[in-house]
Chain A
């Protein structure tokens, strides 16, 4: 048989290989005619080979986590790495309760699993309290409970046996599982670390088809219940992300514990609901979870541990305390940005801190800092040939703006990010063949919200080298002067001013009147052109334009980056586009320069304008 490379996996190629082989013999000459019996046999052989190749390919693919395409296979591989893919997660909301009751006690009991009914669009969801709590007395008739956190889902209790511990619902929120054996509560543990033979603990593992099961120790790593024991598993069945963003809520039992009425006020809408962990996520996190072994040592460990445990975290930046100014040796600085908010709340940071406490080395102290933002003010002048597109300037402007906003979401917004001028220009340039030229100006800026009429000395780090101008000469005026740092309008000593640098590292407050612009106050701060650090000293303002004072920086490079706790962000509202058709385009109109004169070259569909010789 001739050498046939084992590269063909489809039916047609396999059959072609067999036909090639049969060409070397002449006993059965009709192999290549579809009506022949030989051809029928070749069909069968090709199909059988194809089937086996496909089966082997799939079987081998599913044997490894990296190449598996079935979630069940990935779950099985993850189990070997002691990784439990996360289940659906119930959303949580915050409510205030005012209870009207004539009871004499100073506390009104709100039991565990008290039910609420919430609306989100057309759908209705159940919410419950996950622990019992009390409302304090407000006045003679009323009790009040502020900021009560409630969790979405229905509470189910299953009676299990030691033979079958798989939970019946695949929509379980595994964080809500509670187990009691003969009425005695068992504690959930993630690993066997420190678990003794008599400890009342249970474990959770993922099962095929999205189900979960619990299991107990074997009297070596936790107590093992007897076959006759009464095992009750209580958990919440979640609707996942569908329950995020509820708009109204009422308590289901208005006469709870003899109350005459209970008024529920929604304080914070529901957030944090999520779906089962996806196949891609399992493939990404299972090996990494195994790699870090539930311990935070390297900076990646911190990021993976937190993102894995708290999927609401959208972006995270971890760096050493020695890298900050002033250095804080022996600490790790963590900056977290959660989705649908800027930064993270104090309550969330407390949770992160507690989670990391027993995972960090003894001498390392995690410090959480709120992220700081560097925004980008982007102006693009776009020229296009109106003969090559059906879009009008406004349509083109809106579609390019949307494209840029999507690009920013994927490639710019985040920690340790880079704004690349060339990529933005390329994106716009390639957007439509009608676009003939693009001119982009991007200026980073930081928003400063000072407390009015209170002196402050803040510092802003752009983290990029600034374009140092020549020293400002007052007698030459401001008209041609291009400062490295300038700001939006604020009020200083009752006069509207902006700030700018003088090319010698000092910040000036200048009046905004043109052409009589003048210096109102000198040395209101300093600029370090090399590091991009801007410092204000004893800065006090009584008013400012907009929702913050915007401090702009003229960077030396057209591309710039964010470092450490800075998030680079290009907001859709900061994308400004001037789109205009061109009146005469030599290149697009089909003119090529030949010798010293310009000759017309046929270019169908182009806007050919007549250009005189020597033009």
Chain B
């Protein structure tokens, strides 16, 4: 019975990356890593927050969301942001299938919140990721 409840082997790590924080492992002082869902989430965040032309020699990489923040905050503008994000992830992040991109505006506080629902290949659980874009000054 116990063998049914306890996995015989650890789940195999498919995706792995360096964490944003460059944190060191307290055990061996080696660089830690983020894996699987966290790795994909981190990658999506990187892509969404990258402007086009920001990465050297890859001028098409990025969502341009920051540039679009200067457009009028109306449904048409939000639709453009949605399309940018969907197109970007479809091409540059093949590990995830985007289910939905929701954009809610918080005009009073000069913020918009982008919520992304997606699934990851080989992982059944639906993932959700939110980011709030705020004016710097």
Tell me if chain B binds chain A.
yes
Residue positions of A touching B, CB distance < 8 A: 11-12, 27-30, 33-38, 40-41, 43, 46-47
Do the beta carbons of B57 and A12 come within 8 Å of each other?
A: yes
Chain A residues whose C-beta falls within 8 Å of the C-beta of B61 in the assembled complex: 34
Interface secondary structure of B, over-half rule: loop
Chain A residues whose C-beta falls within 8 Å of the C-beta of B17 in the assembled complex: 28-30, 36-38
Do the beta carbons of B43 and A29 come within 8 Å of each other?
A: no
Do the beta carbons of A37 and B58 come within 8 Å of each other?
A: no
Question: How distant is the Cα of A36 from the Cα of B44 in the complex, in angstroms?
Answer: 8
State whether A11 and B20 are in contact (beta carbons under 8 Å apart), knowing that A29-B15, A35-B46 are contacts in the complex.
Answer: no
> Contact check: which of B39, B47, B55 meets A30 at CB < 8 Å?
B39
State whether A35 and B56 are in contact (beta carbons under 8 Å apart), knowing that A28-B16, A28-B18, A29-B15 are contacts in the complex.
Answer: no
> Contact check: which of B14, B55, B93 meets A29 at CB < 8 Å?
B14
- In B77-91, the 8 Å CB interface with A consists of none
Do the beta carbons of A35 and B57 come within 8 Å of each other?
A: no
Number of interface residues of B (CB under 8 A): 24
A–B Cβ pairs within 8 angstroms, 12 of them: A28-B17, A30-B39, A33-B92, A34-B58, A35-B42, A35-B93, A37-B17, A37-B18, A41-B18, A43-B55, A46-B56, A47-B56
- Mark contacts of B56-82 with chain A using CB atoms, 8 A cut-off: 1 yes-contact digit, 0 otherwise: 111001000000000000000000000
Question: How distant is the Cα of A12 from the Cα of B56 in the complex, in angstroms?
Answer: 10
B95 CB-CB contact with A under 8 Å: yes
Do the beta carbons of A36 and B39 come within 8 Å of each other?
A: yes
Interface secondary structure of A, over-half rule: helix
7 residue pairs, one from A and one from B, having the closest CB atoms: A35-B43, A35-B47, A30-B17, A37-B18, A11-B57, A36-B17, A35-B46
- Mark contacts of B31-51 with chain A using CB atoms, 8 A cut-off: 1 yes-contact digit, 0 otherwise: 001000001001110110000
Question: How distant is the Cα of A40 from the Cα of B42 in the complex, in angstroms?
Answer: 12
Do the beta carbons of A33 and B95 come within 8 Å of each other?
A: yes
Do the beta carbons of B92 and A37 come within 8 Å of each other?
A: no
- Mark contacts of B1-34 with chain A using CB atoms, 8 A cut-off: 1 yes-contact digit, 0 otherwise: 0000000000001111111100000000000010
> Contact check: which of A11, A36, A46 meets B43 at CB < 8 Å?
A36
Chain A residues whose C-beta falls within 8 Å of the C-beta of B46 in the assembled complex: 35-37, 40
Do the beta carbons of B33 and A33 come within 8 Å of each other?
A: no
Q: How far is the CB of A608 from chain B (nearest CB, A)?
A: 50
Do the beta carbons of A27 and B33 come within 8 Å of each other?
A: yes
Chain B residues whose C-beta falls within 8 Å of the C-beta of A46 in the assembled complex: 56
Q: How far is the CB of B10 from chain A (nearest CB, A)?
A: 15
Do the beta carbons of B57 and A47 come within 8 Å of each other?
A: yes
Question: How distant is the Cα of A381 from the Cα of B55 in the complex, in angstroms?
Answer: 61
Chain A residues whose C-beta falls within 8 Å of the C-beta of B47 in the assembled complex: 34-35
